Amino acid sequence: MRKVAIAGVGHTPFTFAAEKSSVELFAEAAMDAITESGLTSKDVQAIYLGNVLGDFSEGQAMVQSYIADDIGATNVPATRFEGACASASLAIRDAFMWVASGFYDIVLAGGVETSAKMGTPLATRTFAMCHDAHYEYPVGLTFPGFFAMLAHLYTSKYGVSLDRLKHQMAQVSVQSHKYGIHNKYAQFQKEITVDDVLKGFMVCSPLQLLDCCPFSDGAAAMIIASEDVAKRLTDRPVYITGIGQASSGKLSAQKDYAPRIRAREVSAKQAYDMAGIGPDDVDVCELHDCFSIASIIAAESLGFAEFGKGGELWETGQADRGGKVAINISGGLKSKGHPIGATGASQVVDIVHQMRGQVEPERQVEDVKIGLTDTLGGDGVLCNMVLQKGW
């Protein structure tokens, strides 16, 4: 298997309802990635795209084909991946494997979504279809409801009081906004306080408004290339050294494991083992904080804290710059935004920028060598990637 690197990246601002279409948004990110790599569209051998709700938000299926045409990659095979929030991560994982195998040398991968333009009611309703369609979706389960249940399970399983957990979750959101304010791509560039969170509108107990990420519009893309090609294209290739993916199935299949998500732990181990590292080696992590409780659960399953003690990372500053592991210094989904099909790619782009020292000074983590991305899709389709600096 060949070594694989990221040679160039592109990212649009994450916004409320965008005037541009999904094709236009992804084309913007894609052309930035292609140009940064010193390539042209004609050099791209395949396109792998994450997208979830395009059929509903724009009435547009087959968006990947129109993107290929729009950027001038005529007759290039283009494939759409749907894995809820992990859609772009699945696209990147497959791109990695195709390049590692030697079948392709240069692949464009990423994701796009225009869920914000749908409005919250329709976006929430359609996105809830990523739950089990026979038993979960028909009874009204939405993702705020799913993560609210995990929060209550967390308190009962680990003996953490609900009041303390709510304060820990508030600190997660506060830290995300502290960095999002400095991220030029972020949807919410406003600092918040613990009191702001705790006094906010109740969405689904115990999750309040500022515990929840927004729906967003935006795109992110990258050029994934073989090592020899990447070295010709850039003097700062960032290598993908570990990948993982697993699936957990419907909630009834996870009842004995919740609030932990088994797919995350399986895929994280795959990625760590493939890269030959462990959690203590990770300098910076972009993890899936769709809701503040999700950050705490993810941090534990990724090995950054003992089970039941993940919230202490934020209480003690160990999830901040200079702490044990810097988590969501992009602002995360909570502050940067969550264009569903693009989120996994956005996480990777920010890690690449961190490794190159290209983020804003207020967000730069010192001496980054290893970064991890963690993207959760639906009730448990999970993709992890370990990125390592290679120059």
Domain 142-213+241-389 sits in CATH 3.30.460.20: no
Rounded percentage of the chain residues whose pLDDT exceeds 90 = 87
Q: Residue 348: its pLDDT value, please?
A: 98
Q: Which residues does 34 contact at the CB level (< 8 Å), separation at least 6? A: 8, 10, 40, 41, 43, 44, 71, 108, 223
C-alpha radius of gyration, the chain, whole number: 19
Confidence of residue 255 (pLDDT cuts 50, 70, 90): confident
Rounded percentage of the chain residues whose pLDDT exceeds 70 = 100
Q: What is the DSSP letter of 110?
A: E
Of 54-63, 270-279, 318-327, 375-384, the range with the lowest mean pLDDT is 375-384
Over the stretch 297-333, which tens digit does the pLDDT of each residue have?
A: 999 999 999 999 999 999 999 999 999 999 999 999 9
- The token duo for 196 is 């702001």
Q: Residue 138: its pLDDT value, please?
A: 87
The distance from CA 233 to its chain's CA centroid, rounded to whole angstroms, is 26
Confidence of residue 16 (pLDDT cuts 50, 70, 90): very high
Please work out, in degrees rounded to the nearest 5, the angle formed at the alpha carbon of residue 152 by the alpha carbons of 150 and 154: 65
Confidence of residue 380 (pLDDT cuts 50, 70, 90): confident
Read off the pLDDT of each residue in 80-84 and give the average, rounded to a whole number: 95
Read off the pLDDT of each residue in 206-233 and give the average, rounded to a whole number: 97
Neighbours of 276 (CB within 10 A): 11
338 is catalytic: yes
Confidence of residue 254 (pLDDT cuts 50, 70, 90): confident
- The token duo for 233 is 């294209």
Query: 296 in helix, strand or coil?
Result: helix
Confidence of residue 250 (pLDDT cuts 50, 70, 90): confident
User: CA dist 57 to 21, 126, 127, 163, 265, Å?
Assistant: 10, 10, 11, 38, 33
Query: 340 in helix, strand or coil?
Result: helix
Q: Residue 136: its pLDDT value, please?
A: 87
How would you classify the pairing of strands 381-389 and 326-327? unpaired
- The token duo for 135 is 């038993």
Give the whole-angstrom CA distance, residue 168 versus residue 137: 29
Mean pLDDT of the chain: 95
- The token duo for 307 is 């089970």
Helix axis angle, 143-158 to 162-180, nearest 10°: 130
Q: Do domains 4-120+215-238 and 142-213+241-389 have the same CATH topology?
A: yes
Q: Give DSSP secondary structure letters for 235-256.
A: S--EEEEEEEEEE--SHHHHTT
Tokens 């999904």 belong to 22
Options 85, 204, 285, 383, the catalytic residue? 85
Domain 4-120+215-238 sits in CATH 3.40.50.720: no
Domain borders along the chain are 4-120+215-238, 142-213+241-389
167 is catalytic: no
Give the whole-angstrom CA distance, residue 79 versus residue 30: 15
Please answer whether residues 224 and 98 qualify as being in contact, where contact means their C-beta atoms are separated by less than 8 angstroms: no
Neighbours of 326 (CB within 10 A): 25
Q: What is the DSSP letter of 290?
A: S
Options 285, 338, 353, 383, the catalytic residue? 338
Please answer whether residues 329 and 360 qualify as being in contact, where contact means their C-beta atoms are separated by less than 8 angstroms: no
Q: Residue 351: its pLDDT value, please?
A: 98
